Amino acid sequence: MPSNLLNRPIIMVQLQQLRILIAALLAIPLFLWMDSPAGDVTFGNGQLTANIAVFTIFMVGVLHCNSRTRTAMLIGILVGFLGECLFSLVLNMYHYRFDNIPLWVAFGHGMIFGLVYRASRKPLILRNTKKLKIILLIGIILFSTFWFFAENDAFGFICTLVFLAFLIVAKKSQLFFLLMFYVVLYIELVGTYTGTWWWPNNLSSIASLPSSGNPPTGIAVFYFLFDFAVFYIYLHAINRVTLKRYRRFEQRLKANP
């Protein structure tokens, strides 16, 4: 029997581990299209339609995930909404088409955090961590360099360099953040293409430099702040038992290097 037939069931089982993330990535263009000028033509009020759709999917996800992921997703809603208000409404770094913060965006932050976190813990991903890190890093460097020249994206390139520097510090979460980089970049490319939001050609309305692409690459660096806030609130304000367990584990590592 041909070897490819023998391997096919194994491949299918492996892909099933990531089926939720794959389904989400396929659905994202649809949700972003809803909240776009084209979506308004189809639904009348595309943003309202997107709000209802994303909220529904979010509730389904909350009901079917474990308590840790559920809590992190709920924290992510609050942290994400506050971050959107700061970066979009106050600093004017980017603009949604109605100059507001759509309701679906807050739930989207929680969903993306939960999806990437669960995907990064799947056996298929964990077994290939070293190879994936190398491949993902090379891809980031190549695309950021290309976008820098193609879109005059100095801001995004700087963000990518900061992102890579943060990876050196976040050794235990490198794979999570690398995966998050690609998911965020994917969402940004689709969202700006559909006209759901847009980035000006500089850092913000406050500063004229550096130049920025639409979207800037490396914007996932701000997810370091987002994820840090989510983890900090979860460990210090909600689940101190996990924090104590984590510190005991670190002490054992230091005692037995």
* pLDDT per residue rounded down to tens, the chain (257 residues): 444 444 445 555 555 667 777 888 899 999 999 999 999 999 999 999 999 999 998 888 888 777 777 887 888 888 889 989 999 999 888 999 999 999 999 888 888 888 888 888 888 888 889 999 999 999 999 999 999 999 999 999 999 999 999 898 888 888 999 999 999 999 999 999 999 999 998 876 666 668 999 999 998 888 777 877 877 777 776 655 555 555 554 555 455 55
The whole-number pLDDT of residue 179 equals: 93
Please identify which residue in the block is written with the tokens 């990518």: 160
Q: CA 37 to CA 201: how far, in whole Å?
A: 21
Strand partners, 96: 197
Report the 10 Å Cβ neighbour count for 248: 10
Q: Which of 184, 190, 186 is nearest to 39 (CA)?
A: 190
Buried b (16+ CB within 10 A) or exposed e, 159-178: bbeebbebbeeeeebbbbbb
Q: CA 106 to CA 111: how far, in whole Å?
A: 9
Cα torsion 228, 177, 86, 101 to 10°: value is -120
Please identify which residue in the block is written with the tokens 């190879």: 131
The whole-number pLDDT of residue 16 equals: 63
Instruction: Extract the tokens encoding 54.
Output: 């994303």
Q: CA 248 to CA 130: how far, in whole Å?
A: 26
